[in-house]
Amino acid sequence: MLQGRLIVVVAVVLAVLCGGSTTVAETGIGVNWGTMAFRKLKPSTVVDLMKDNKIGKVKLFEAEEEVMKALMGTGIEVMLGIPNEHLSLLSSSPAAADMWIQKNVSAYIYKHGALIRYIAVGNEPFLTSYNGQFLNFVMPAIQNLQQALVKANLAGSVKLVVPCNADAYESTVPSQGAFRPELTQIMTQLVQFLNSNGAPFIVNIYPFLSLYDNGDKLGYGQMPIVIGEIGWPSDGAIGANITAARVFNQGLVNHVLSNKGTPLRPNSPPMDIYIFSLLDEGAKSILPGNFERHWGIFYFDGKAKYPLNLGLGNKELKNAKNVEYLPSRWCVASPSSDMSNVANHMKIACSVADCTTLNYGGSCNGIGEKGNISYAFNSYYQLQMQDARSCNSDGLGVITSRDPSVGACRFILGVTDKGSDSSASQITTYKYHLCILLVILIIQWIL
C-alpha cells in the first residue's frame, strides 16, 4: 500500500516539476555548435544560417530546449551531447537515464520533429587532464542510456557514441599507436559496444594529418570513424589567424572530399567530420589559451570570417540573415582625457567582456595604447547593451557613431536577443535537475 502511494507521489512529482511543452532531420560535413557566448544569436537565426550554407549535420554539447525546437523539421542531423558532469548520475540511476531520454530525445523525435542520430555520452571524458575523474562512469551510463533507448523504441535509430580526444592513445607515429594502458579495458568494452550496435568511433583531433590513423587498434579495422571536432582558431595567439584558419579548413574539406583516406585506410575517409566550430564563443574559458574563443568559421554574429567552400553547393559561406544589431554606437577612450588612471577600468572591463584579441598574437594587439583602451571599453559597453553609464569610466570613455575598427581589428557591435527567453531556459534546467534529485531520493526511500 505504501509503495503504491509513493508511486503516485513519484508520478505527481514528474507531472508537476518535469512536465513541460510536449512539442517535440546527406552530407559528410557538419559543424559543432557551442553556445557559450555573451550575446547569442536566436537559435532560429543560427539554424537558418546552417540551412543557407547547406550544412546538414550539427553536433551539440548539451540539450537546450530552444536549440532543439529550432532544429525540428529542418532535416539537419543532430549529435546531441551529454556534459561530463551528468555522467555520474546517469551511470548510477536507470531512472535518471530514462528521464533524460524522455525529456531530451523522445520529446523531439516524431514526424516533422528533430532528426537525432547520435547521443554523445560525455565530451572527451578520457582526457589525461581529468585524471580519470569520469573513467568509471562512461560504460555504466552507456548501459543505462541504451536500456532507456530500448524502452523508448529508439535503439534502432539513435546510436550512443563517446567523443574521444587523440590523447587517448600513445605513439610517436599515429599509425603504430596504442591506447593508454589505463584505457585498454574500457576502450575494448566501448569498441565492442559500438560495433555491436552499428555505431561509429568518434575522435576529436587537431591537426588533420593525424586524424584517424588509430583506426585498427583493437581488431575492428572496418569500424566507421567520425571526426567529432577538427578546426583551426582565427585569433588570440601566434599562428591563430584568418589566413591560417582558412588554409587549414579548406585543406581539410578538400582532403575529405577527395576520398584519399590515409595510408592505413586508403580511399576510406571518415564517414563524417564536424568542423570546430560554427560560431565564436566569447564566454568560453581561456585556460587553454586566448584562442579558445575564436574557433568559429563565423563570428559570434553570424558573419563569415573568410571565404570557405564546404563542398555542399555554395562556393563561399553565406552570412546570417535578419540579425538584430544594437544601434551603430561604440564606446572609445576619450581623446582629451588623461589615461594615467585607466588600468583599473581596463581590468574591470576585460574581467567581464572578451578582450582576448588584445593579447600577443591577437588581431588587435598592434593598435596602440589608446586603441587597446577603446577596445576594452567597447567590449564592455556592448555587453551591457550599450548602457551609457557603462561607457563613462570616470569620464575616460565617450560614445561615438564612427566605427573605430582598424584593419583586421574588428570592434564588435552587440546583437539583441529578443526572440530568446534565457531566463525561462534556466528555470527549465533547474526544474529538470530538481526533478531528478527528488525522484532519486524517493526511489531510495522506497527501496
User: Using an 8 Å Cβ cutoff, are 336 and 362 in contact?
Assistant: no
Query: b or e along 136-175 (b: 16 or more beta carbons within 10 Å of the residue's beta carbon)?
Result: ebbbbbbbbbbebbeeeebbeebbbbbbbbbebbeeeebe
Q: Catalytic annotation on 292?
A: no
CA 392/CA 90 separation, integer angstroms:
49
Query: b or e along 110-128 (b: 16 or more beta carbons within 10 Å of the residue's beta carbon)?
Result: eeebbbbbbbbbbbbbbbe
CB-count burial class (<10 Å; 0-12, 13-18, 19+) for 271: exposed
- Which residue among 64, 66, 77, 229 is the active-site one? 229
Of 31, 49, 35, give the one whose Cα is nearest residue 275: 31
Beta-ladder partners of 325: 415
Residue type, 55: I
Residues 6+ positions from 291 with CB-CB distance below 8 Å: 233, 235, 236, 237, 240, 356
- Which residue among 65, 66, 124, 292 is the active-site one? 124
CA 311/CA 302 separation, integer angstroms:
19
Residues 6+ positions from 237 with CB-CB distance below 8 Å: 289, 290, 291, 359, 360, 361, 362
Q: Catalytic annotation on 124?
A: yes
CA angle 252, 244, 373 (to 5 degrees): 140
What backbone phi and psi angles, to 5 degrees, belong to 212? Answer: -135, 30
User: Using an 8 Å Cβ cutoff, are 42 and 417 in contact?
Assistant: yes
What backbone phi and psi angles, to 5 degrees, belong to 330? Answer: -130, 155
Catalytic residues: 124, 229
